[in-house]
Amino acid sequence: MTKSFIIIGAGPAGYQSALELRKAVPDSKITLIEKYKLGGTCLHRGCIPSKQLSCIEEEKNYLKTLTKNKTLLMKGIEQKLLKADVEIIYGSANIEISESSFQIQVQDCDDEGYVINENADEGSPNSKKNLSADYLILASGSKPRKINFDKYFKEKYPEIDSSEIQKVKDKAISSDSFFCDIKLQRGFSDSYCFIGGGYIGIEIASMLAKLGKKVRVIESAEDILLFLDKELRERIKANLAKQGIKIEVNAQNIEYQSIPEDKIFIAIGREIVLPPIIYKEKNTVEKITDKNTLFEKISELKLNDRIFLVGDLSEHMPLAHYAYAEAKSLAKYFGSLAKSDINSQATNNNFIKPNLDLIPQVIFTNTEFAHCGMNLDKIKEKYPENFFIVEKNWTENAKARISGCERGYARFIFESSTRRILACSLIGHLATDLISIAVPLIHLNLSYEEIQNMVFPHPTLGELFILD
């Protein structure tokens, strides 16, 4: 029996789910709904624009090059989807769930993803008829968290003039607004103050410093990049200091109105985005605006086997390559159901999620950072006194030396009893590419001796993986 899927959101989790489902359940009907453009935040406001920023030496050709690359990548995604016979619908998906069922209405949007007519009646030019399917996959992604400056100033400085508040608002930007094409046409500012020392803030701060911009980072926590162990953080901070980036931590009372930099870059994390969802039961109509309430209603209406959340909505790891892996896992599960001819057995909780320890983490700072495997704190907890560390400085590597990028560091961690590799961390030129060598080593759970017996070409940075 042919199964049908509706996927909302055409970012990495959404379009990859469509492609993987086509392979796993070949005879299924797959519909992908996107209100903006194929590729999602990753392509238009995140991964691609930021990495393009790290590849330029001067800013004058940035927007032209970025626009070209985004267009080509977007066309590539579209061609893959069309080849896979995925129906693509552009518009805003409005979901109604009730009595063990769901319906979706799609409203037309403009080029920026805004609904053209919020009050369009069904059958009007700006409204499409209801859609339904066997399964609904929500992949609507996330957006930058904001600071409510009106609330902040009202509580802390109730007598402040509204014009001063507006000045702060005008200076405040996020990754979404920073990478907006219209704003990019005006060029970059000369100085930036980043609020937040997570990987997004640190990454973009380093890229701008490379372009000669004055950059400062303010973090309210005890340190930046707290998902890393202290030794790695210290090494990264040393590289940032060499770039002239000033870092302030434990900043509990930020005087936003006194920040002298041209722009205040808000990088305090991201929050999930749910499409408009309405719960209907008899005479009750309730808007669902948060994930917990959505899960409660899904369970109450017995829709656990029909509605799934992937990508940033799963809140396991907000990375594009994690979204790809999760899409594959979900499709694999549906494929196994199809082969065994079992119907309606999938749930949000029983398809196998990717192992987070096998998902590489990369930060495109100058110098780059990459890691795969368990973090050191977790290793100390799980294997107390039963692990050993192998460290290598890049000055030992011939390719690093002759190419002038010898300022780097590699760290390998092994379990003592089995001598199996647990983690690899790299700081240095092309670290974000080199970590791809470590991924299969960790994924295959190889031993020190098995890696030691491998041969790497000379002279290359890959020789950093030669174990003595």
Separation of alpha carbons 434 and 392, rounded Å = 14
pLDDT of amino acid 110: 78
pLDDT at residue 109 in the model? 85
Q: How many helices (H) and strands (E) does the chain have?
A: 16, 21
DSSP 8-state class, residue 426: E
In order of 54, 166, 208, 227, the CA distances from 177 in angstroms are: 18, 17, 15, 26
> Are 4-143+272-356 and 149-268 equal in CATH topology?
yes
CATH class of the domain defined by 367-465: alpha beta
Domain ranges of the chain: 4-143+272-356, 149-268, 367-465
- Predicted confidence at residue 88, as pLDDT, reads 96
Residue 251 and residue 240 in contact, taking contact as beta carbons nearer than 8 Å: no
Q: pLDDT under 70 in the chain at which residues? A: 1, 117-129, 338, 340-351
Q: DSSP E strands: which ranges in 394-436?
A: 409-415, 421-427
Measured distance CA(367)–CA(408) in Å, rounded: 8
Rounded to whole angstroms, the Cα distance separating 25 from 137 reads 15
Query: DSSP assignment, residue 420?
Result: B
Do 346 and 332 meet the contact criterion of CB atoms below 8 Å apart? no
- Amino acid residing at 238: A
Give the model's pLDDT for residue 465: 97
In the DSSP assignment, the letter for residue 120 is P
Q: Which residues pair with 131 in a beta bridge?
A: 104
- Model pLDDT for residues 254-283, shown as the tens digit of each residue: 999 999 999 999 999 999 999 999 998 877
C-alpha–C-alpha distance, residues 40 and 141, integer Å: 8
Q: What pLDDT shows up at residue 1?
A: 61
Q: Structure tokens of 164?
A: 């001063």
Q: What is the 3-state secondary structure (H, E, C) of the chain?
A: CCCEEEEECCCHHHHHHHHHHHHHCCCCEEEEEECCCCCHHHHHCCHHHHHHHHCCCCCCCHHHHHHHHHHHHHHHHHHHHHHCCCEEEECEEEEEEECCEEEEEEECECCCCCECCCCCCCCCCCECCCECCCEEEECCCEEECCCCHHHHHHHHCCCCCHHHHHHHHHHEECHHHHCCHHHHCCCCCCEEEEECCCHHHHHHHHHHHHCCCEEEEECCCCCCCCCCCHHHHHHHHHHHHHCCCEEECCCCCCCHHHCCCCEEEECCCEEECCCCEEEEECCEEEEECCHHHHHHHHHHCCCCCCEEECHHHHCCCCCHHHHHHHHHHHHHHHHHHHHHCCCCCCCCCCCCCCCHHHCCEEECCCCCEEEEECCHHHHHHHCCCCEEEEEEEHHHCHHHHHCCCCCCEEEEEEECCCCEEEEEEEECCCHHHHHHHHHHHHHCCCEHHHHHCCCCCCCCHHHHHCCC
- Can you give the pLDDT at residue 350? 57
Provide CB contacts within 8 A for 161, sequence distance 6+.
none
In terms of Cβ atoms closer than 10 Å to its own Cβ (0-12, 13-18, 19+), residue 255 is exposed
- Given this model, what pLDDT does residue 344 score? 45
CATH number for the domain whose boundaries are 149-268: 3.50.50.60
The pLDDT score that the predictor gives to residue 100 is 78
**What is the CATH class of 4-143+272-356?**
alpha beta
CA angle, corner 363, sides to 452 and 455, nearest 5? 15
The C-alpha angle 438, 428, 54, rounded to 5 degrees, equals: 105
Q: Which helix (H) or strand (E) holds 65?
A: helix 62-83
